[in-house]
Amino acid sequence: MGAYQDFHQRSIRHRDAFWSEQAALVDWHRPFTEVCDFSRPPFARWFRGGETNLCHNAIDRHLASRGDQKALIYISTETGQEKTYTFRELYKEVNRAAGMLATLGVGKGDRVLIYMPMIAEAVFAMLACARVGAIHSVVFGGFASASLAARIDDAKPALMITADAGMRGGRAIPYKPLVDEALRLARHPPRNVIVVNRGIDKEYRPLAGRDLDYATLRRAHAEINTPVTWLESSDPSYILYTSGTTGRPKGVQRDTGGYAVALAASMQHIYCGNAGETMFTTSDIGWVVGHSYIVYGPLIAGMTTILYEGLPIRPDAGIWWKIVADNQVSVMFSSPTAARVLKKQDPKYLAQYDLSSLRHLFLAGEPLDEPTHRWIADALHKPVIDHYWQTETGWPILSAVLGVEKTPIKFGTPSFPVYGYDLQILRESDAAEAAADEKGVVAIVPPLPPGCMTTVWGDDERFVNTYFTSFRTRQVYSTFDWGIRDKDGYHFILGRTDDVINVAGHRLGTREIEEAVQSHPNIAEVAVVGVADPIKGQMPIAFAVVKDAAAIATPELARAQEKGVMDAVDKQLGAIGRPSHVHFVTLLPKTRSGKLLRRSIQALAEGRDPGDLTTIEDPAALDQIKRALAGDFLP
């Protein structure tokens, strides 16, 4: 048996011994008394009785050995700013931010909603929450006010932290007006909003009595030391909202001790990152990858982490490689979409920089097609590792685990189940394990390993019902992805089993986009589907029925209406959910019981066979879809 297989089997068969060893990678204020409490399946409590703190593990414990080492390098090609913080300096900034929280009465168990661009203060804010035991909920800056308000009402934060504006491609993107609007819409607005005023939005005006200036508070807390609040291992560290089949996003709740251990172990076994080295993850702090591998993972491992605000092709397509060369990056983590964007650029940019420090490039978040995988591996002359995971798990489910064994990389596959995951490919019909090369649902036999979501925020029942009831006969966690395992044990992900689409690695529920489309006053009904896109993997397109057909009576009017619908989505959900096209029809394909036939619509949009249509209510609806796609249908 190979070394990795052995390692994996041990993690399942001798689960407690295995994780007890991994737990030694982090500091415990009080040792745990039980490795895994699985007395109430499918809920798992890892490292029960143990007390620890994520901020302590990310910063304080490194001060003695690497206080003067760089901890955080902030690079913005949007503002031209670059700033470096050593562990000691990061410690100071986080203590100041934690002091502000404490002064405002924010402590253990309180929620803090962070809605910020990629600036160092966002990292300080996250770590400060962890320090005082507050639960952060970072919302991606691309979400609009209605989405933000829904998250505010679910998390009921005691405080929000934001900035006047972000920047993208040289253009200012005001954040504060969206926050103001969200707070107007929310039923549970927080008392205060701390605003980092970057001086980008000249229109920015604080609201007296509610908005507080970060810089002023920082000065007032300049010399403060805020002691760490020790948390029981299962105490929540953060909530991160993610989309599913319903229009209502779920708050993925993460624990403290299990997460610390999972990240520390992954930095060693999967990412092969060593203390003193540098990691560059190109995600955003609003996504799970940003939480785990911009902020917590590298810092817990004593590595320097890079926070990059900017685009991959600005000022030119060499910028990431320049960052790698300038900072001697050894571990890099990015997305398949980014790789596809770079593939279209002049190859000279890759050849221009000395990338000898780089050991591996990791890609995740969406399917990595084989040609792109091959291209980037050849262009970099480095191992490129496709790995598969979800917001729910917080760290990889499928990956090559090169820190344990240098298994060969096969293009187009994220390799093997990661240690700790008892992963099975199950037949949809009877929940039996699929044979090699047979398609099934990618499932995980509980307990989920440390670091994975512990519940849906405020809704244990929803956690169980959403994730553990796909099969009548077995309580297993469904990833909602189809997959196959080949005869050599390599796994392939074949797409979602549900109505979730993945745009450039960002998960969006079709229901959520449909609700945003319907916020337009002239839309009666809509179906949104994801269609294959050569760069972004998938793009949403919409088929809508209007209330007043006069609004789309001519091609010009229809185009204006389409634009109006797109604007409504931007406003309601955020530009990340904007459909690339809105086609107008008078009828949507549905079953006789009224269920939208999204799969058939999607198949037509991708030029495939629409499949079994015996249950369709009115076949004319599909004809309209076909004609709308061909551009010759106008209701």
Binding site for ligand AMP (CB under 6 A): 242, 288, 364-368, 386-391, 414, 479, 481, 493, 496, 502, 507
DSSP sequence for 291-314: IIIIIIHHHHTT-EEEEEES-TTS
Mapping DSSP to helix (H, G, I), strand (E, B) and coil, where does residue 229 land?
coil
> Considering beta carbons, is residue 336 or 450 the nearer one to ligand AMP?
336
Instruction: Tell me whether residue 90 is exposed, middle or buried, using C-beta atoms within 10 angstroms of its C-beta: 0 to 12, 13 to 18, 19 or more.
Output: buried
Q: Please, what is the minimum distance in Å from the beta carbon of residue 606 to ligand AMP? A: 17
> Considering beta carbons, is residue 540 or 589 the nearer one to ligand AMP?
540
Mapping DSSP to helix (H, G, I), strand (E, B) and coil, where does residue 170 land?
coil
Mapping DSSP to helix (H, G, I), strand (E, B) and coil, where does residue 272 land?
coil
Q: Please, what is the minimum distance in Å from the beta carbon of residue 599 to ligand AMP? A: 16
> Considering beta carbons, is residue 310 or 336 the nearer one to ligand AMP?
336
Q: Please, what is the minimum distance in Å from the beta carbon of residue 390 to ligand AMP? A: 4
Residue with tokens 């990661």, as numbered in its chain: 418
Residues in Cβ contact with 208 at an 8 Å cutoff, skipping those fewer than 6 apart: none
C-beta neighbour count of 164 within 10 angstroms? 23
Residue with tokens 């000898």, as numbered in its chain: 356
Residue closest to 573 by CA, chosen among 182, 172, 155: 182
> Considering beta carbons, is residue 190 or 530 the nearer one to ligand AMP?
530
Chain centroid offset of residue 377 CA: 24
Q: Please, what is the minimum distance in Å from the beta carbon of residue 74 to ligand AMP? A: 24
Q: Please, what is the minimum distance in Å from the beta carbon of residue 121 to ligand AMP? A: 25
Alpha carbon separation from 289 to 156, 298, 387 (Å, rounded): 24, 12, 12
Q: Please, what is the minimum distance in Å from the beta carbon of residue 396 to ligand AMP? A: 9
> Considering beta carbons, is residue 390 or 510 the nearer one to ligand AMP?
390
> Considering beta carbons, is residue 502 or 561 the nearer one to ligand AMP?
502
> Considering beta carbons, is residue 151 or 387 the nearer one to ligand AMP?
387
Q: Please, what is the minimum distance in Å from the beta carbon of residue 388 to ligand AMP? A: 4
- DSSP secondary structure letter of residue 407: P
Q: Please, what is the minimum distance in Å from the beta carbon of residue 140 to ligand AMP? A: 10
Q: Please, what is the minimum distance in Å from the beta carbon of residue 551 to ligand AMP? A: 35
Question: Alpha-carbon distance 150 to 444, whole Å?
Answer: 30
Q: In what order do the strands lie in the sheet with 477-485?
A: 422-426, 440-445, 477-485, 491-496
Q: Which two tokens stand for residue 154?
A: 């679910």
Q: Please, what is the minimum distance in Å from the beta carbon of residue 537 to ligand AMP? A: 9
Question: Alpha-carbon distance 438 to 436, whole Å?
Answer: 5
Which stretches of 354-432 are DSSP H helices?
Answer: 370-380
Residues in Cβ contact with 553 at an 8 Å cutoff, skipping those fewer than 6 apart: none
Q: Please, what is the minimum distance in Å from the beta carbon of residue 473 to ligand AMP? A: 23
Question: Alpha-carbon distance 522 to 547, whole Å?
Answer: 5
DSSP sequence for 91-148: HHHHHHHHHHHHHTT--TT-EEEEE--S-HHHHHHHHHHHHHT-EEEE--TTS-HHHH
> Considering beta carbons, is residue 403 or 412 the nearer one to ligand AMP?
412
> Considering beta carbons, is residue 339 or 364 the nearer one to ligand AMP?
364
Which stretches of 449-493 are DSSP H helices?
Answer: 460-467
531, 602 contact by CB (below 8 A): yes
Q: Please, what is the minimum distance in Å from the beta carbon of residue 620 to ligand AMP? A: 33
> Considering beta carbons, is residue 7 or 333 the nearer one to ligand AMP?
333
> Considering beta carbons, is residue 233 or 478 the nearer one to ligand AMP?
478
Alpha carbon separation from 123 to 71, 325, 628 (Å, rounded): 11, 24, 46
> Considering beta carbons, is residue 217 or 398 the nearer one to ligand AMP?
398
329, 303 contact by CB (below 8 A): no
